[in-house]
């Protein structure tokens, strides 16, 4: 049996609209070939299909003063932050070809992030009724990765954003995921070791290959 292949393109740090335009172009021109984009975004607040501006805690003028853009997105989920030090992974995958039901796609993304974090001795979990991946400790729950996807014509778009060593204070501008009092964390906040982003990407690729039973190759 031929193993499915997913092509990977690393865009580096790019403007949010530019990254989305690349993703949309790939999706619109889709020729039965799965692709992954790794990237970091400039300062951006995005509002998903279930979100609203009421979850942004400052005026648009103040947000702009702090260097952020506010953009309405067609991904699932509510309001989140993108900034330097956060790794974003867009998954453009024909889910039927990979034998994945739409309802299970997010669960697989959660699983791959949880398994990846185990490699760094970070114990994380999915929480029923809350999107993303969380660190649960005593009476606190801290979100370390946001997930927001869209399935269009059987092909996925968007994906997840993993906090590596980004500025967590930026999240004070919003109500993350529409959850009052929600805490946000990062890998750097949880463990005190040097975080090599090249190695992080390699370890994420390993988990993508495991979860989607595929081979990731450079585009």
Q: List, by residue number, the catalytic residues.
A: 177
Torsion of Cα atoms, 34 then 39 then 42 then 45, to 10°: 50
- Rg (the chain; Cα; Å): 17
Residues 166/195, Cβ–Cβ less than 8 Å: no
Show the tokens assigned to 194: 């040097």
Q: What are phi and psi of 213, to 5 degrees?
A: 50, 60
- How many Å apart are CA 196 and CA 214, to the nearest integer? 24
Neighbouring CB atoms inside 10 A of 185's CB total 21
Neighbouring CB atoms inside 10 A of 198's CB total 8
């Amino acid at each position: 049996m031929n193993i499915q292949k997913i092509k990977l393109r690393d865009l580096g740090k790019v403007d949010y609209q530019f990254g989305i335009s690349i993703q949309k172009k790939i999706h619109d021109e889709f020729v039965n070939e799965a692709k992954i984009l790794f990237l970091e975004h400039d300062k951006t607040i995005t509002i998903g299909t279930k979100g609203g501006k009421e979850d942004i805690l400052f005026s648009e003028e103040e947000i702009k003063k702090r260097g952020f853009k506010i953009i309405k997105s067609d991904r699932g989920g509510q309001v989140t932050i993108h900034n330097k030090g956060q790794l974003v992974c867009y998954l453009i995958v024909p889910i039927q070809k990979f034998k994945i039901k739409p309802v299970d796609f997010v669960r697989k993304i959660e699983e791959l992030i949880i398994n990846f974090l185990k490699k760094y001795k970070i114990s994380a979990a999915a929480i029923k009724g809350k999107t993303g991946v969380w660190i649960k400790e005593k009476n606190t729950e801290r979100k370390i990765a946001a997930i927001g996807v869209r399935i269009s014509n059987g092909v996925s778009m968007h994906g997840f954003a993993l906090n590596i060593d980004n500025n967590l204070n930026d999240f004070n501008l919003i109500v993350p995921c529409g959850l009052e009092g929600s805490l946000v964390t990062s890998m750097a906040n949880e463990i005190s070791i040097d975080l090599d982003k090249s190695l992080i990407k390699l370890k994420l690729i390993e988990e993508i290959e495991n979860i989607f039973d595929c081979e990731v190759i450079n585009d």
